[in-house]
Amino acid sequence: MTVAIVGVGMTRFGRHDELSGLDLAEQAVREALADAGTAWSDVDLAVGGSNVSGKPDALVSRLGLTGLAFPTVRNGCATGGVALATAADAIRAGRARTAVVVGFDKHERGAFASDPASYGLGAWYGETGLMVTTQYFAMKTRRYLHEHGLSEESLARVSARAFRNGAAHPRAWRRSPLSVEQVLAAAPVNPPLTQYMLCQPSQGAVALVVTGEERAADLAERPVRLAAVSVRTRRYGSFEVFSPSLDPVPRRSPSIDAADSAFRTAGLSPSEVDVAQVQDTDSGSELIHLAETGLCAHGEQEKLLADGQTDAEGALPVNTDGGCLANGEPIGASGLRQVHEVVRQLQGRALGRQVPGAPRVGFTHVYGAPGTSSCAVLTLEGARS
């Protein structure tokens, strides 16, 4: 059965000192329902995710005690992708007709850090410093730049484009554009990453209304088909967040596996993508994920960025809403923010920079600890397949 996204809702990302995580989630769900022109009473499944900010299923006390099923997920930065996959599977299996998917979080300032024991690791791993995510990403980025001949200027180009896009998006957190030179000259955090090459923990919520093909046309003028959504975990030897394996020979990452699965299921190739969202927890991660998902070859990122090909007007628009760099990362909401942006881009109603030329194929990619990735392919009806 075809699954389609027929409504989207999103809060502003940033700081919301006066609101709770559930307040933000309720706001996003109500906007998504209004966007689809439907009511909570018409929803027979909800799937929610939050890392630290409350139980998503508690939303029923605010939205309506209808007795619907409401499973919750917690998969690090991949939480939104896993929640969407869960809802889509239920619709395809005939266990639900219309679902709401919601993700939210409120994080305090400072780098993400966790207890090694929570990830099955000994205290020794924390003592290496790699449980502090900025150090892990810096180490992985340094190695990648060396292996593929990429410059630190490419890292700055990623950030500069993200802040340009964020400045044009009314719900982004960081709304001030920065030049490549300003990004490079910013305070170092963990070399080669400077202050503006890393995202920050933030606050926000996103919701989607998802349904089967028999209802899609009734709820949206231009429903966006969820052609595929895939979730994968790490293999032996891959070097991932909060995962100590490191093999001297190349290994397949969960992002490679998730992207391969999504494109095969959708019957499309990365070369057909018109607009993409990839995890940019830091600017180095975007470089890595562009290649791991098949959107470009390893080492090709330098030229793509220098030529402006990843800008909204380029051949491969990437993170058109500013990505994590401009929005920060409320973990439960981040993956759904990507889908929100791609849906609006394909429908021609982006809140920020609109990709020209009537884009018809979109792609999203999230990646999180301890090495979990989720990728989705979205299309408009009539898109090439």
**In the chain, how many domains are there?**
1
Q: Which residues pair with 47 in a beta bridge?
A: 101
pTM over the 0.85 mark? yes
Residue 68 domain flag? yes
Give the pLDDT of residue 385: 39
DSSP string, 298-355: TT-HHHHHHTTTTSTTSSS-B-TT-HHHHH-B-HHHHHHHHHHHHHHHHTT--SSPPP
The torsion region of residue 307 among left (phi > 0), alpha (psi -120 to 50) and beta comes to alpha
Residue 325 domain flag? yes
Three-state secondary-structure class, residue 63: helix
Question: 290: domain range?
Answer: 3-108+200-379
Three-state secondary-structure class, residue 241: coil
Residue 123 domain flag? no
Comparing CA positions, the residue from 155, 367, 350 lying closest to residue 279 is: 367
In CATH, what number is assigned to the domain containing residue 372?
3.40.47.10
pLDDT tens, the chain, 385 aa long: 799 999 999 999 999 999 999 999 999 999 999 999 999 999 999 999 998 888 999 999 999 999 999 999 998 889 999 999 999 999 999 999 999 999 999 987 766 667 888 888 888 888 888 788 888 899 999 999 999 999 999 999 999 999 999 999 999 999 999 999 999 999 999 999 999 999 988 999 999 999 998 899 999 999 999 999 999 999 988 888 888 777 777 678 999 999 999 999 999 999 999 999 999 999 999 999 999 999 999 999 999 999 999 999 999 999 999 999 999 999 999 999 999 999 999 999 999 999 999 999 999 999 988 889 999 999 997 443 3
Residue 191 domain flag? no
Residue with tokens 């005939």: 94
Q: How far apart (Å, rounded) are the C-alpha atoms in residues 126 and 341?
A: 36
Residue 85 domain flag? yes
- To the nearest 10°, report the CA torsion of 171, 316, 232, 201: -30
Q: How far apart (Å, rounded) are the C-alpha atoms in residues 194 and 189?
A: 5
Q: Which residues pair with 5 in a beta bridge?
A: 210, 224
The residue type found at 347 is Q
Q: Between β-strands 98-106 and 72-73, what pairing exists: parallel, antiparallel or unpaired?
A: unpaired
Q: How far apart (Å, rounded) are the C-alpha atoms in residues 68 and 96?
A: 10
Residue 295 domain flag? yes
Residue 124 domain flag? no
Q: How far apart (Å, rounded) are the C-alpha atoms in residues 79 and 83?
A: 6
Residue 212 domain flag? yes
Residue with tokens 């990839």: 278
CB half-sphere exposure, 86, CA atoms < 13 A: 23
